[in-house]
A and B are shown apart, each in its own frame.
Chain A
């Protein structure tokens, strides 16, 4: 019997790491890239297209240099007229009826890939520029918008939400994910004890103005540190995000982090505060006392900022990968810079919401109110389960995590 169980376990391991199937279909997708020879963004876009070609072998890139070649320039202008748009600069890229004017690596790569994914869903599509260039003969009739509308899980996935009216899937799922993961991450008590101690010292100070300034500086700095960490992670994802081994790495972080979280919930018999190592505690206490008793407000503020930076580096490492997973989900969706910023702001707002509530109540009532640690415990459980689910989805059904397919 033992041999069979080993074989099953081995088989499970192998299937767990089978490459995530890319859903490229066999229809040919033509991309028309109008570029300038020395244009740096054009070079970058060419690299990105080559990278995407790995996942989509049926992708054909047709390049037209327009700075030195007048004929190509005419083609570009004609393409713009056909598609009823204006050329704002190079690179000027066309796929079917979808136009990309210029290129910013930050968000467009997701959009490009997503457009190719959309066109991969149909056998043929309307390609007026291809016809004009003689690349294709009588192409299909479906425009980009048609395909998105027709595809059962496309942007046309509209929910009827009371009061808010019709809301597209993307507009509903990502905010909920941001709030959910942000709030769960926020309940992580790793650095909470420092805030509590700071507030208890601030309350003792009896100088209201200084209390508000130092307390809000601490919370604001924490938000900025977390934002920087998320941006750092987003940049990593932008470069290696589409590589398969990276997706599996994120899935592993999610699965391991999730298991650790669930385990810590099961193992924690008593609901209480975890006592941080004494030397670390003492060093932070002396820092806080020194900062708050500092005569010059400006020096106090600098001291608080430095304290918040050090403390939040502890927090970032101890939050078991939730922000990493969140950023990975964001990057799988086709978002503009504005949307990225909005969801990250939402995440951080709910990440800090418990700190904000505690701080404001303390400042108003001059009393420190505690939140039971059972919520932190359950956040480990819920966060853990959520991470395990996301980990499994990242491996088996990554497309479920893109909400505007």
Chain B
């Protein structure tokens, strides 16, 4: 699973929103091909953590290193780094004025300057992989939530990223559509994609994660393999959290 130096390293990361200390001295490293699931109560800073990795949220102190390079400041170098890190949002954020296929091909054509014909072919193959090849020429608003999120995953994959970040990818979905998105994510994990997944889906954490990270009040409280974490959480905070979500 993990080989060589880790792909993503956060070291002593702090972030404040005004007086609120959202990330409190967080250190985490994610190996190549590793799937890390971040769980925790609302407001614990897990989404913010995910968004700092491609600098959608700047941090106040500490360092973040991706593939051996510290995150650059805003500019061309940061844009290049972002192109190597796929991101999937809670609210899909597909480009509303473009078709599904155009959503998928925009990045490779404009950022990587690839040939449109080749990108189109790869885009269609990706849409086929996530099971929505027949929706390629529709606009995002014409698709269901689950289809939109799968399109968003295909859009991120079209850049052939080194890692994928998922920021609560199923939280905005109707229950019957959660499964289709998780299936795509599970198959990605099996194929060896490096993934950081913020989620409330404990089932996914159990069967797809290599490691579960538990966050509370901006701190990284506990990390362990999923079987160990769910059977024997060490911290009181994690025990309390699990007892609340697993009793129903």
- Specify whether A and B are partners: no
Instruction: Tell me the A residues contacting B by CB distance below 8 Å.
Output: none
